[in-house]
Amino acid sequence: MLTRLLTRRRALLAGAAACAAAGTAGVLAAVTGEEPVRPAAPAAGPPARRALKPSAYRLQPLTGYGPPRTASHRPLVRHEPLLRVSGRGRSMVLTFDDGPDPRYTPDILDTLAEYEVRAMFFVCGEMAADHPDLLARMADEGHAVGNHTWSHPLLTRLSRGRIRSEMERTCDVIEKAYGERPVWFRAPYGAWNRAAFQLGAELGMEPLAWTVDTLDWTTPGTRSIVKRVEHGAAPGVVVLSHDAGGDRTQSVRALRDYLPNLLDSGYHITVPRRQLT
């Protein structure tokens, strides 16, 4: 026990002496300007990590990351045209193809205005270019204008480039005369193909066909046209008629007969909303 106490005391005295020597060396260095002898460095170990400059470490976005990007919108490409449309209650859509024709389109617009209803006009670009005033009137009176190609060709016999040209030129004419680009497209003769669906979608248009064909282009007689419309009437029905492409006198007269009858039967004649699914 006594031996342990003496050993501990010697260690304390040795430590005190070392501190005193270090203090003395510091004083001597201050007086003489001489650098005191430093104890030898300990054995080499792992190299010390070099301190980084304040600006050397910053949060940087990783390549390919950062704020989420908006996914590119890919248009929905259908494989068949819409035949009916959704709407409230007993809604129906009246459509007229191949115009505008100054001989018949104004009379159709007059009848629609008389009953305060709106319809759709699928126009051909070459006709629209010659009669922009009729497209302007359609816009003023709330009718929808769709794309029916430039020259009414059979699309299934055209190259992809020709189909695009037929559609795109007509879109441009409609936008200039009507004020907006069309969002609906109808293939002439109802002849659709894959290119027509794809290109129409790329140009922002939905394909719309019809449910009831009046066959007015065969000039079957006014009464026959009226019967086809009234017998085919149902919610969501799309009726096909013409305001150009031949003698459309029967089409004009038939509209005057069946339109008030449809309204009296509780049908709501309107233009469709664009369907996104």
Catalytic one among 143, 148, 152, 242? Answer: 242
Is 242 assigned a catalytic role?
Answer: yes
Three-state SS for 233? Answer: coil
Q: Which two tokens stand for residue 29?
A: 């260095």
CA distances from 172 to 101, 168, 179, 207 (A): 19, 6, 10, 18
Q: Round to whole Å and give the CA distance between 146 and 251.
A: 19
Catalytic one among 79, 97, 107, 152? Answer: 97
Question: What is the full DSSP assignment across 83-102?
Answer: -B---SSSEEEEEEES---T
Centre a 10 Å sphere on the Cβ of residue 262 and count the other Cβ atoms it contains.
Answer: 20
State the sign of the Cα–Cα–Cα–Cα dihedral 213, 218, 221, 222: positive
Residue 221, phi-psi category: left (phi > 0), alpha (psi -120 to 50), beta (remainder): left
Residue found under tokens 């664009």: 274
Segment holding 240, helix H or strand E: strand 238-242
Cα radius of gyration rounded to whole Å, the chain: 43
226 neighbors 262 (Cβ within 8 angstroms): no
Is 152 assigned a catalytic role?
Answer: no
Q: Which residues of 118-151 are buried (b: 16+ CB within 10 A; e: fewer)?
A: bbbbbbbbebbbebeebbebbbeeebbbbbbbbe
Catalytic residues: 97, 242
